[in-house]
């Protein structure tokens, strides 16, 4: 299944490094070509000889061979790979990656890699939970890397909790999925709405919401990884994707105008934006002065972008979101029909870790055939991947 695929495995200093021997063996058995980079401290946990023998390729650690002078080109290694997996990822290397530090071959290769980069952290539970570690992992996600979260279980320290590297068999499945999906949506154009909309009250104030753009950015990345071309129309969000076409707007009317322009050429449309349903009827042209004890602002209905484009839908596959606080499932199913979606992704603000600004989300899918699929709380990257997988099924 991985015949012809080139995988660059980068190993850091962690007790979980012993698992890479099994992992390399599994990759090679699947037909993959494997090259390994090790940090110096990784060699305290597993020998280069073991990984060189199993991968059938010399292991790289230094920029050049001290005795022969042979140069190990990090740019070539990064270009060679179809996928780079850093496993186990130590807190030390994570910190360096998040801050652009480049003091060894692994880091130089990471910085020059053009292929998807996945990381599988492994460390003690307190280290894993430390805000610095979590912030660094989020930084990697914002650079477009994929984090294979550490698993729960017994740790080398004797403690028990989240910190174990995913098992070799799990890593293999993730790599397979990633590589086989990489061309599944080749030639498809995906239009994504993302972020909040800001509806002006006056030149200073607006009606808005808490959407950060994290969900829309994760979706963009996941569709790109599946080979699709993406256009994201984003309200004023903190998070924007680092590649693909990005159109920035403020209001719902602007978002609709751009979405209408790109809709006919799109194959897939994902409505992840939190669009303001109302806007001030007559925004003031100058800052409203504080005079009276109360202030009335008349609001008028904004266009419903998803519903408008739902009326014009021909070949396009439409994915909507439903953000609910009560009667969640019934409301989501009503929106699926009313807005002519093919799939709706329900997230509820009653679920801890779900919704605005979170790095995680807990969703339930409903499709037009009344199929329901409930997912656990997971990273927005993983939720985006689930959505892409569902869309791919429709194009198979
Ligand atoms: O950006 P994050 O901080 O990561 O947060 C992600 C999110 C919570 C914003 C996202 O997961 C989400 O739920 N997005 C949809 C929010 C929303 O407005 O839901 P809704 O139930 O009000 O709308 C239903 C659907 O119609 C949505 O697809 C929405 O984009 C669309 N809609 C709604 C109103 C409107 N005027 N135009 C629309 O297109």
Domains 6-182 and 184-280+293-395 agree in fold? yes
Three-state SS sequence of 306-344: HHHHHHHCCCCEEEEEEEECCCHHHHHHHHHHHCCCCEE
Report the phi/psi class of residue 175: left, alpha or beta, with left for phi > 0 and alpha for psi in -120 to 50. Answer: alpha
Is pLDDT above 90 for 370?
Answer: no
CA of 202 to the centre of ligand 1 (A): 24
Is pLDDT above 80 for 77?
Answer: yes
Q: For ligand 1, what atom is nearest to the CA of residue 276? A: 36
CA of 275 to the centre of ligand 1 (A): 6
CATH 2.40.50.100 fits 6-182, yes or no: no
pLDDT at 61: 92
- For residue 84, which of 108, 109, 104, 67 has the smallest C-alpha distance? 109
Q: Which of 233, 299, 310, 321 to probe ligand 1 with, by most ligand atoms within 8 A of CB? A: 321
Compute the distance between CA of residue 90 and CA of residue 69 in angstroms, rounded to an integer: 29
pLDDT tens for 172-214 read: 999 998 888 778 999 999 999 999 999 999 999 999 999 999 9
For the chain, the structural domain boundaries read 6-182, 184-280+293-395
- For residue 192, which of 306, 355, 278, 340 has the smallest C-alpha distance? 306
- For residue 324, which of 348, 340, 301 has the smallest C-alpha distance? 348
Is pLDDT above 80 for 243?
Answer: yes
Query: Tokens 């023998």 label which residue?
Result: 53
Give the confidence band of 343 by pLDDT, cuts at 50, 70, 90: very high
pLDDT at 311: 98
CA of 182 to the centre of ligand 1 (A): 27
Residues of the chain with pLDDT > 70, as a percent, come to 100
What pairs with residue 117 in β-bridges?
84
Q: Which of 208, 312, 322 to probe ligand 1 with, by most ligand atoms within 8 A of CB? A: 322
pLDDT tens for 86-118 read: 999 999 999 999 999 999 999 999 999 988 999
Q: Which of 193, 275, 346, 350 to probe ligand 1 with, by most ligand atoms within 8 A of CB? A: 275
Give the confidence band of 283 by pLDDT, cuts at 50, 70, 90: very high
CATH of 184-280+293-395, one of 3.40.640.10, 2.40.50.140, 3.40.50.10300, 3.40.50.720: 3.40.50.10300
Is pLDDT above 90 for 68?
Answer: no
Residues 28 and 3 sit within 8 Å (Cβ to Cβ): no
Is pLDDT above 90 for 381?
Answer: no
Give the confidence band of 70 by pLDDT, cuts at 50, 70, 90: confident
pLDDT at 75: 78
Sign of CA dihedral 214, 216, 221, 223: positive
Is pLDDT above 80 for 126?
Answer: yes
> What pTM was computed for the model?
0.75
Query: Tokens 């993302």 label which residue?
Result: 194
Compute, in degrees rounded to 10, the torsion defined by CA atoms 25, 27, 33, 34. Answer: -60
Lookup: tokens for 333: 């199913």
Pocket of ligand 1 (CB under 6 A): 193, 195, 211-215, 252, 271-275, 277, 302, 304-306, 320-323, 335, 339, 347, 355-357
């Amino acid at each position: 299944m991985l015949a012809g695929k080139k995988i660059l495995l980068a190993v850091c200093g962690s007790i979980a490094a012993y698992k890479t021997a099994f992992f390399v063996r599994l990759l090679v058995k699947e037909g993959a070509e494997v090259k390994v980079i090790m940090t110096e401290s990784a060699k305290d946990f597993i020998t280069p000889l073991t990984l060189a023998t199993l991968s059938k390729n010399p292991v790289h650690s230094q920029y050049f061979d001290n005795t022969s002078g042979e140069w190990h080109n990090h740019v070539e290694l990064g270009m060679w790979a179809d996928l780079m997996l850093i496993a186990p990822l130590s807190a030390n290397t994570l910190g360096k990656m998040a801050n652009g530090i480049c003091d060894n071959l692994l880091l130089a290769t990471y910085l020059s890699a053009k292929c998807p980069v996945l990381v599988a952290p492994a460390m003690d539970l307190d280290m894993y939970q430390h805000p610095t570690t979590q912030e660094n992992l989020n930084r990697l996600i914002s650079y477009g890397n994929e984090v294979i979260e550490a698993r729960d279980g017994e740790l080398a320290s004797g403690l028990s909790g989240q910190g174990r590297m995913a098992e070799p068999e799990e890593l293999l499945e993730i790599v397979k999925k990633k590589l086989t999906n990489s061309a599944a949506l080749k030639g498809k154009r995906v239009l994504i709405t993302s972020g909040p909309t800001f509806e002006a009250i006056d030149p200073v104030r607006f009606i808005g919401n808490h959407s950060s753009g994290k969900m829309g950015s994760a979706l963009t990345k996941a569709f790109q990884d599946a080979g699709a071309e993406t256009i994201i129309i984003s309200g004023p969000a903190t998070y924007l994707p680092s590649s693909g076409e990005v159109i920035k707007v403020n209001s719902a009317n602007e978002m609709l105008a751009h979405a209408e322009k790109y809709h006919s050429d799109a194959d897939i449309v994902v409505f992840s934006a939190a669009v303001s349903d109302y806007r001030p009827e007559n925004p003031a042209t100058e800052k409203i002065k504080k005079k009276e004890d109360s202030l009335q602002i008349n609001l008028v209905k904004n266009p419903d972008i998803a519903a408008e484009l739902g009326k014009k839908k021909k070949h396009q596959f439409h994915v909507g979101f439903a953000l609910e606080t009560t009667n969640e499932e019934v409301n989501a199913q009503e929106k699926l029909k009313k807005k002519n979606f093919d799939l709706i992704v329900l997230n509820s603000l009653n679920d801890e870790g779900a919704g605005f600004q979170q790095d995680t989300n807990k969703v339930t899918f409903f499709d037009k055939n009344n199929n329901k699929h409930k997912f656990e709380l997971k990273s927005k990257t993983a939720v985006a991947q689930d959505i892409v997988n569902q869309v791919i099924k429709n194009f198979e």
